[in-house]
Structure formats: C-alpha cells, structure tokens
Chain A
Amino acid sequence: MSAIAYVWQVGECLLAIALAPLFTGWVGQCRAWLQNRSAPPLWQPYRLLRKLFHKDAALATDASWLFRLAPYVVFSTMVVAAAIIPSVTTDLPLARVADAIALVGVFATGRVFISLAAMDIGAGFGSMGARREMMIGFLAEPALLMVLFSAFMTHGSTALPEMVEGLLSQPHIVLHPSLFFAGVAFVMVLLAENARLPVDNPSTHLELTMIHEAMILEYSARHLALLEWASWLKLFNYACIGFALFMPWGIALHGAGAGRLALAIAALLGKLVVAGAALALFETLSAKLRLFRAPEFLTMAFLFAVLGLLVYLLLGA
C-alpha cells in the first residue's frame, strides 16, 4: 500500500460520484433515441442537481429528524460502496473494508433508510412505496447472493479486487459457463434493484404503479438532489460490480502506472457506453410487469443463479 494508492482510492471514488449522473444521462438519451423522442442533453442530470441544490427545501410540517437524516445516509452508503468497488483499479486500500457480501449489506442499509424515511410523513404513498421496495429487496437478495456464490466458486474469493485479479491473471480470455448463467441472473437483479423496467418505471409519475418515486415523493430541493444522486450512484455501482464480476478487462492491477490507469478509465467509459445502450434497449423492448409478477421475475433470476452454481459443480473447475 503506497501513498499513491490512497490518492487513487479517493480519485476513483470522486470519479464515480462525478460519472454517475452522466451514465444516467446517457441511458436516458439512448432511451429517447430508441423511442423516437428528441433526447435531453447528456448533462441533463447535472442541471437537475444544480437546480435542486439551489432551491429552498420544503419539508412537511411533521417531518422528523429521521426524514432529514436519511438522504445523507443513503448518499453516504452509495459513496462508500463506490469506494469499495474496483471500477478502475484493484489497488484500493479501502476495498478490504467490505467484501461482496458486505457490499450487499451496505446497499440494504441504504434501502432500509429510504424506506423508513418514506414512512415518516404518514401520507399513503410513502409507506406503499416502502413496502413495495422492501418486497423487491427481499426477493432480489437471495438471487444476488447466489450470483456471488457462483462468482466465488470460480474466483475463490468474495473480495471484488481479488476476483478481478483472479480473472485477469488467467492466460486466455474465457468465462466459465457457470458465469454466463450468473451474469443473466445479475442483470435481472440489477434491473429490479435499481427500479428499472420491467419491475419499476424510473420515469413514471403515475402514483399507483410507482415504487422508488413513491418513496421520495415528499422530498424536495437538496434532500431530493442527494437521493437522486444516490440512486444514480447505485445504478453506476451495480454496473461496476457487473464489470468486475463478468468483464473485468481493462481494470488496472496493483502497481499500475498513470498511463495504464488512464487506459483503465477509458475502458470503463467504453463499457459504460455499451452497458447504458444495452440497458436502454432492454427497457424499450420490455413492458412493466404487474407488481405481483415481480416475484416471478426475481425467482427466475434466482433459478438462473442456482443453475450457474450447479453447472460449476457438475462441470468442475
């Protein structure tokens, strides 16, 4: 661990914070193109943040301290997660704070806080959103864990940097077949956890169907800005976990120089461009599921992940 590693630790974290709105902007742009709408500019999310931070916060009369604390906590969990996930380099001093399983726990902390805050005002939609969000959460978590199991079986570690290094140190670029199934399951979990179609519609404002939007209905101004930023960071983080598990190529290893790191950033950008376009394509092609069809969707994700595990055990290493 050198001092430069700490610099890169902070740098990578800031990069994630800065890039997350851009990634969401890119997905929105692709979606608009695919749906024959004129696209908002790529930096629309930054404009939104600027607008929201400038406004006065309108708080409900009965809002408690928990309501005001929650945006900071949720934002903080996502930033800490971004610091742990090796998106550019594996030489991260803080990555050892939490392995992949603990990372799932960190995300769950954010989810519980936002759900609690949603129940604080006592208007109907907040708690409806909270219970739906918690339902999706408890259905997605077993599937996600089985994905991590499959990855663990192939890489022999639950620490994300070790997984990346394990995969990159192999002589030829082949993914184990079990990882294919795990990858499909992971994408399904990503969609559900990030309030994307077909489980939730990020652009809906129809009250009865929304999940994520229902929870943040009472928030405004800087609190809303932090929550939106956190949800963008969450999508970014999930994408980076996916890259680390299934396509780590380009991520700089221990002791890489500045040039190598620049290349890694370029690789990350390239992967984000492709992933964002694919996400937009998938969302355009699929319709929103009824709420109680979501369990079937996530059960399918779970079965894919289990299949990945069984394939690994049957085929051997």
Chain B
Amino acid sequence: MHVVSSLTTTTPLAGLLILVASWFLIGALGLIQPNRIGWVARTLFPLGALVALGIAGVGAMSLVPGFTAQSSVLALGLPNMPFHVRLDTLSGFFLVLLGSAGAGISIFAAGYFRQGEGTAPGLLCLQYHVFLASMALVVLADDAYLFMVAWETMALSSYFLVVTQHRIPEIRRAGFLYLLMAHVGALGILLSFGVLQGGSWQMTFDAMRAAHLTPAWASAAFVLALFGFGAKAGLVPLHVWLPEAHPAAPSPVSAMMSGLMLKVGVYGLLRVSLDLLHVGPWWWGLLTLGLGLGTALYGAIFAAVQTDMKRLLAYSSIENIGLIFAGIGLALLCRSFDMRLLAALALAAALIHAFNHAFFKSLLFLVTGSVMHATGERSLGKLGGLIRYMPWVAALALIGSLAIAGLPPLNGFVSEWLLLQAFLQTPRIPHAFLNMIVPLGAALVALTVALAGYVMVKFYGVIFLGQPREQGLENAHDASWLERVGLSWLALGCVLIGVFPQVALDVVSRITRQLVGTSVQRGPSPWWMTPITSSQTSYSGLWLWVGLLLVIGVTFVLVRRIYHGRVRRTPPWDCGYPWQTPRMQDSSEGFGQPIRHLFGPVFRMQRELPHPSDPKPTYRVQVQEHFWHQLYLPLGRLVQRTAERVTILQGGRLSTYLLYSFMTLILLLVWVL
C-alpha cells in the first residue's frame, strides 16, 4: 500500500496508475481459465475496455484549463533508481488517445477472438493487456529507465501478439523481423537518452531538461531519437517491418499496433525533440519534414498497388505517419526561426492527425478482421460485393474510408486542412531558400492525400462493392453485436471530430502552449474554426454537415414530390456481350495499374505475362520494395559475413579460450603498471 500512499495528494496520476495496474491484473486473470472463451473474451475484454475508458477520462483531466503537471516517485525499480512518473498535457493527450481508441478495439476483440486460433485465449488476454498497460507506462514515464523498461515490454508483448499464429512460418519470420527492427530502434533511443543526460548521469527527464548540451551533442541526440522513434513509427526507410507484421497479427492487434503503438513512437519523438531538447538548428526540422513527406508519398504509392487488404492498410499507416512527421518537422523548423504561432499550428495539425489516425485506422483494421472471419479471405482479389451481405460492417467501413481519404466533413480532413494552412504560411520563413522550397511540400501533402483517396476507393470498392469474385461469399455473415459496438464507437469518433474540429483544436492548444509556448486560437465564434485570423481562413465542419444533409434531404423530397420514385430492376448493361462473369471486374491489380504505370521506377516489379497461345493464360505481377533488396539484404549479408569472421575467435577449444584469458590478464597488468 505504501506505493500508493505517496500518491494520495495527486489524484489523477494515482488514478491512472491504479488503472494501469488493473490492466495487468485483468491480463493475469486470463490465466485462471485460459481456454474458456466465455470468461476471457466476454468478461475480461469488456472489463479492459472499461479500464481504457477510465484511462481516457482521467487523462482528459490533464487537458482542462488550469491543470498543472503532476509527478511522483514510485517505490519500484532499482535501489538507487526509482521509477518516476509524470502526467502533463502531452502525456494526458496520448493517454486519451490510447484509452478512447483502445476501448473500441477491446470491445471489438471481445466479440472477435475465437477458440482454437493459435495462442490460447487466456495467454492472448495477458499479452494484450500487458501491451496496453506498457504503452500507458511509456507515456507516463518520467525517467529514461522506466521509459526503456516500458518500451521493451511494449515491444515484447506486441511481438508475442504478432506471432499468435506461430505455426505458420511466414508469421514467425514477420515476427522476427519486427523484433529485430524494434530492438535496432530501441538501441537508438537508449543512445539518445545516454547523450541527453549530458554527463550528469541522472536519468530523470527533469535532469535532461536542465542539461546543457553542446550543439553537436544535441544534434546527435536528436538524430538518434529520430532514428529510434522513427523505426517504431515506421518512417521510411525503417518501415520494412510494418507491412510484414501488421498483416501477420490478428486484426485487433493490428489495429492496436497501427492505431496506438505507432502513436507512442510519435509521442517519444515529441517528448525528446520538443520537451527534453532545447531549440535546435533549422535542419532538424527540415530533415524531419523531408523524411515525413517522403514517407507519406512512399506509403501512399505502395498502398495503391497492394493486393492484400491488411498490407494495404499497413502501407496506408506509413503514409499517415509520414504526414504526422511532416507536421512535427514543420513545427521544429518554425520553432528554430522563433515563429511560434506557425509552429503551434503545425504541431496542432500533427497531434490531431495522430488522434484521427488512431480512430480511422483502427476502425479499418477491425473491419478487415470481420471480413476475414466472414469469408476467410485476406486477398482483395477474392472478395467483392460484401455491402449486400455485411451491411453494418460496410456502412461503418465507408465512414472510415472516407475519413482516411481526407474528405470533408469527416475528421481526416480537419488535420490535413490544418497542415495545409501551416504550409501556406511558410513563405514567410526568414531564410532565402527555405521560403521557396518548403511551400512545395504542400503540393506533396496534396498529392499524398489525393492518392489516399485513390487507395480508399480501391480498398472499399474492391471489398464491398461490385460482384462477389468467389463462390461462397454470398454466405458471408455480418459482424457480431460486440464487434459492431466496437466499430461504431470508432466510427463515432471519426464523425464527432469532423463535426466539432474546434473542440479538438482547443484541446491540443494546451499542448502546443506547453511545448512551443503559444497556441492557435480556434477563433471567437463557437461555430467556426479560424486558426489564424477570421478574415484569412475558416472552416466549419458542423455547418458543412448541416448544408450537405439539408440539400440531400430537400433534393430527395423535391424529386419524389414533383416527379415519382418509380424503380424498375433490370440486369446491368452488358455492352452486347452477355457472357460476363464476376471475374471480369477490375481486380485489385487492375485498379493499381495506373499507379504502377506512373510510378514505375519506384517499384521492383516482376511480371509474368501470358503467351497469346496459352490455353490457360495467367497473369502475375509481384511488387516489391527497392529498400529491401538494395539496403536490407546487403546489410544482412554484411552482418552475416562479419559474424562469420568473428566466429574464428570462437573455435571451441578450451586451450584457446584459456589463452585469451591469459592474454587479457597480461594486457591488463601492462596497462595498470
């Protein structure tokens, strides 16, 4: 009890710690009856969702005006290195993100997990809740020690979740790649913290804030942090694990990794670059901005040519992470020129986009889970027409798809609009070349967003619209009611942020005030969002909704009143060719063809075209990444060769090892004397 006793005065933080502990407890309870699905899925997962809501609620307390950061020292950890925890507006915001999106995923998972799919449900429940709790602890950590412990717990628990179906070799391989990249990234973060402590050997974040680093060391810390957190978030070229690990994991886990864990990477970068480090040179921002924009475009292009629905969403996550990093980069760039308002605007865009992405990407990953349960198919080429058999899932997936495509009046548009507004101000940067180059980034953002629209038309159109491409899809069933509740919750989030973007802007303005010293105002009127000045720009999600729905309603009534609503059902027009089959529809490869044509050099393509006289013509195209073949495989071979050289030292003969010890002893003696 004395762990908590020191916390009685700091209630929100204490509440959060109790809630996080109860996640651990729920996970452990799963082991009581690990194979009873009624206990694990129908009881424990909804409980976990309640805890998630609690975390979101308590985290939101840090976002009300007048909140001051709370910190505490736990009686846990090593003797001279206790765990420090702290709740400020930044961590509060990410806890709200984690809790609110996590609640939807947990409710869905309650209806999703079945008996006999890989790992026992009880063990899965333990890994799942440890994963959630460790993410919350990363966000709450106030020293590098607890941060790294929680970070590694997060990586390991998610690794075990990825390899749930560990009997399939490909999934084991994907899991290994994920683990490897997670640890390469963790090394970067560890080294970054090592630089940040600045010789004081104090691992608390307070000491790091106070440390005075030389510009070179500060830059080293920044680049290492960018590398480490970028590897976790999926920044190109460190993204290679993402399209492998996301499809391998069960859908709720994919949703958590993509919707929540990538955001923890974003949180880490924000914490280090905007909180722990002081204002740095402008190239930090330019580097982050360039990497972010490149990642965004790269992800969007690759998403457009995928044929597996979960891989498509994984690449789409890479794209969205790119947009978030572009916002952070722009904020850093503007902060280094002391353009605080602009930095606040860009940061607000990045934060709101992180929040939005947690909702719509989780929603879409969960939708793929429902589709896979209903049809047993993951390949886009074998789906189609599901809007007629899964109306609930189709309707909710439509909201998610429109939101992720950045269309008004949903939430994805809000953050992209804010990002573009920030770019609009960049010609004012007081630097001769930056003021011309940086505005062109807006064109890349526009291209990426429009490509995301293309991707989502493909995703939604091929899965839900058209004719079923395979036999048996007619028997697909809609999602269970728990799954529907989870999906609806996430879809509701997408709609609400779209309708009231000014509330979201209000909330993140408290974070920008903490991190860059100022904040964008949403404007005097409660109806409009006017982040700069009311004469310069404005947007109102609510009135756009009202206008669109009003016109739809009025048009519908008028057309029906003045004319009629008569409908005749006929077969579709066959262009005079009556032998059409569903397989003649555009396949997912076909839908990606313009992209493969336009961006040909970006891909590594292997095509097998049929011969004209083939009796059974087949067409196959495989799209791979250059990064894999030209960066990772050579790097892997290099490591392998180096390791082989080193094994010469390890000959397996005892006498040689004794010789090594003897030589070392001699050397040490020489050195000491």
Q: Once the chains are docked, how many angstroms separate the CA of A53 from the CA of B562?
A: 9
Complex CA–CA separation, A212 to B567 (angstroms): 24
Contact A141 B450 (CB under 8 A): yes
A121 CA / B465 CA spacing, docked (Å)? 7
Contact, CB under 8 Å: B421 / A57? no
CB contact between B461 and one of A76, A96, A116, A125 (< 8 Å): that residue = A116
Find out whether the CB atom of B402 lies under 8 angstroms from the CB atom of A109. yes
Do the beta carbons of A62 and B385 come within 8 Å of each other?
yes
Contact flag A122-B384 (CB < 8 Å), given A97-B544, A313-B427: yes
Which residue of chain A is the closest to B572 with respect to CB atoms?
A: A60
| Residues in B377-420 with C-beta less than 8 Å from chain A | 384-385, 387-388, 398, 402, 405-408, 413, 417, 420
A209 at the interface (CB under 8 A from B): no
**In the bound complex, what is the Cα–Cα distance between A106 and B547 (angstroms)?**
12
Q: Which residues of B contact A62 (CB under 8 A)?
A: 385, 388, 467, 572
Which residue of A has the minimal Cβ distance to B443? A142
Is A37 positioned at the interface, with any CB of B under 8 Å from its CB? no
Question: What B residues does A116 contact at CB under 8 A?
Answer: 457, 460-461, 465
Q: Give the docked Cα–Cα distance between A59 and B456 (Å).
A: 25
Task: Assess the B543–A112 pair: CB atoms within 8 A.
Answer: no
The verdict on A96 contacting B594 (CB below 8 Å), with A57-B567, A112-B457, A149-B439 known, is: no
Q: Which residues of B contact A217 (CB under 8 A)?
A: 573
- Closest A residue, CB atoms, query B428: A153
A39 part of interface (Cβ distance < 8 Å): no
Interface hit among B307-315, B550-558, B634-642, B646-654: B550-558
CB-CB contacts below 8 Å: B459-509 with A:
460-462, 465-467
Residues A120 and B465 in contact, CB atoms below 8 Å apart: yes
Chain A 116-142 interface 0/1 with B at a Cβ cutoff of 8 Å (1 = within): 100111111101101110110111011
State A148–B558 Cα separation when bound (angstroms): 36
Stretch at the interface among A244-252, A254-262, A280-288, A302-310: A302-310
> Using Cβ atoms and an 8 Å threshold, which residues of chain B touch A77?
548
- Which residues on B sit within 8 Å (CB–CB) of A97? 528, 538-540, 543-544, 547
Quick check: which of A155-163, A196-204, A235-243, A269-277 contacts chain B, the rest being far away?
Answer: A155-163
Answer whether A156 and B536 are a contact pair too, CB < 8 Å, given A64-B388, A145-B446: yes
Q: Nearest chain B CB to A276's CB is how many angstroms away?
A: 26
Bound form: Cα–Cα A115–B461 in Å: 9
Q: Which residues of A contact B622 (CB under 8 A)?
A: none
Contact B442 A145 (CB under 8 A): yes
* B551/A58 in contact, CB under 8 A: no
Residues of A within 8 A of B574 (CB): 123
Mark A76-93 against chain B: 1 for CB-CB distance below 8 A, else 0. 110110010000000000
Picked from B465, B467, B537, the residue with its CB within 8 Å of the CB of A66 is: B465
B586 with A76: CB separation less than 8 A: no
For B540, the chain A residues whose CB sits under 8 A away are: 96-98
For the complex, give the distance between the alpha carbons of A99 and B523 in Å: 15
Q: Are A127 and B585 in contact (CB under 8 A)?
A: yes
In the assembled complex, the CB of A47 is this many whole angstroms from the nearest CB of chain B, namely 15
**A222–B563 touching, CB < 8 Å:** yes
Kindly identify which residue among B536, B538, B571, B586 contacts A131, using a CB–CB cutoff of 8 Å. B586
8 Å CB contact of B453 from A121, A137, A306, A313: A137
Which B residues touch A121, using CB under 8 A? 466, 572
Task: Tell me the minimal C-beta distance from B310 to chain A in angstroms.
Answer: 21
Report if A164 contacts B (CB, 8 A).
no
Q: Given the complex of chains A and B, what is the CA–CA distance between A139 and B597 in angstroms?
A: 14
- CA of A112 to CA of B453, assembled, Å: 7
* Bound CA–CA A295/B447 (angstroms): 13
When chains A and B are docked, how far (Å) is the Cα of A56 from the Cα of B562?
14
Is B78 an interface residue, CB under 8 A from the partner?
no
Q: B548 touching A80 by the CB < 8 A rule? A: yes
Chain B neighbourhood of A310, CB < 8 A: 436
The answer to whether residues A313 and B435 also contact, given A97-B544, A102-B539 and a CB cut-off of 8 A, is yes
Q: Which of A112, A120, A122, A222 contacts B402 (CB 8 A)?
A: A112
Is the pair A127, B591 in contact by a Cβ cutoff of 8 Å? yes
Binary interface encoding of chain B residues 48-86 relative to chain A, with 1 for a CB under 8 A from any of its CBs, else 0: 000000000000000000000000000000000000000
B446 in complex: contacting residue of A73, A142, A207, A292, CB < 8 Å: A142
Interface assignment of A40: CB less than 8 Å from any CB of chain B: no
Which residues does chain A contribute within 8 Å of B388, judged by CB atoms? 62, 64
Q: Could you say which interface size class chain B belongs to?
A: 35 or more
A-chain residues with CB within 8 Å of residue B458 when the two chains form the complex: 131
| Contact across chains for A162 and B535 when beta carbons are under 8 A apart | yes
Is B580 located at the chain interface by the 8 A CB criterion?
yes
Distance in angstroms from B590 CB to nearest chain A CB is 8
Q: Would you call the interface of chain B mostly helix, strand, loop, or mixed?
A: helix
Decide yes or no: A152 and B570 within 8 Å by CB, A122-B465, A138-B450 being known contacts.
no
In the complex with contacts A159-B537, A310-B436, A83-B547 CB distance below 8 A = yes
* Contact B563 A122, beta carbon cutoff 8 Å: no
* The residue from B538, B547, B559 contacting A226, defined by CB atoms under 8 A apart: B559
Task: Judge whether B555 and A66 touch: CB under 8 Å.
Answer: no
Contact B398 A142 (CB under 8 A): no
Chain A residues within 8 Å of B616, by CB: none
B620 within 8 Å of A by Cβ?
no
Q: Is A61 an interface residue (CB 8 A)?
A: yes
Partner of A79, one of B453, B543, B551, B584: B551
Q: Return the CB mask of A205-219 against B: 1 if under 8 Å, else 0.
A: 001000000000110
Q: Is A168 an interface residue (CB 8 A)?
A: no
| A157-180 Cβ-contact flags toward B at 8 Å (1 or 0) | 111001000000000000000000
Q: Do A76 and B548 touch (CB < 8 A)?
A: yes
Determine the distance from Cα of A130 to Cα of B465 in the docked complex, in whole angstroms.
12
- Is there contact, CB below 8 Å, between B594 and A102? no
Let me know if A122 and B544 touch, CB within 8 A: no
Q: Which residue of B lies closest to A148 (CB)?
A: B424
For residue B367, CB closer than 8 A to chain A, the reply is no
**Is B627 at the interface (CB under 8 A from chain A)?**
no
Any chain A CB within 8 A of the CB of B451?
yes
Which B residues are in CB contact (< 8 Å) with A309?
427, 436, 439
B450 touches A142 (CB 8 A): yes
Say whether A278 faces chain B, with CB atoms less than 8 Å apart. Answer: no
CB-CB < 8 A to A119: which residues of B? 457, 461-462, 465-466, 586
Could you tell me if B446 and A158 are in contact, using CB atoms closer than 8 angstroms?
Answer: no
In the assembled complex, the Cα of A101 lies from the Cα of B447 at a distance in Å of 14
Q: Please, how many angstroms separate the alpha-carbon atoms of A59 and B435 in the complex?
A: 54
Is the pair A76, B544 in contact by a Cβ cutoff of 8 Å?
no
B580 contacts across to A, CB distance below 8 A? 123-124
A108 at the interface (CB under 8 A from B): yes
| Interface residue? B2 (CB, 8 A) | no
A102 to B552, CA, bound (A): 19
Instruction: Flag whether A48 is at the interface (Cβ < 8 A).
Output: no
> Smallest distance from the beta carbon of A123 to chain B beta carbons, Å?
5
Q: Are A60 and B543 in contact (CB under 8 A)?
A: no
A297 CB, min distance to chain B CBs, angstroms: 13
Which residues in A have their C-beta under 8 angstroms from that of B537? 99, 101, 157-159
The reply to whether B442 and A295 form a contact with Cβ atoms under 8 Å apart is no
With A72-B555, A122-B582 already in contact, the answer to whether A152 and B457 are too (CB < 8 A) is no
25 A-B pairs whose Cβ atoms sit less than 8 Å apart in the complex:
A53-B563, A61-B572, A72-B552, A75-B555, A98-B538, A105-B406, A112-B453, A112-B456, A115-B461, A116-B457, A125-B575, A127-B466, A131-B454, A131-B458, A135-B594, A156-B536, A158-B424, A159-B536, A159-B537, A207-B575, A226-B559, A292-B594, A295-B598, A309-B439, A313-B435
The 9 closest A-B pairs by CB, nearest first: A138-B450, A122-B466, A122-B467, A119-B461, A127-B586, A60-B572, A76-B551, A141-B450, A142-B443
Given contacts A116-B465, A135-B595, 17 further A-B contacts (CB under 8 A): A58-B567, A59-B570, A64-B465, A83-B547, A96-B534, A97-B540, A98-B538, A102-B539, A105-B406, A112-B457, A131-B458, A131-B586, A149-B439, A162-B535, A207-B575, A292-B594, A313-B427
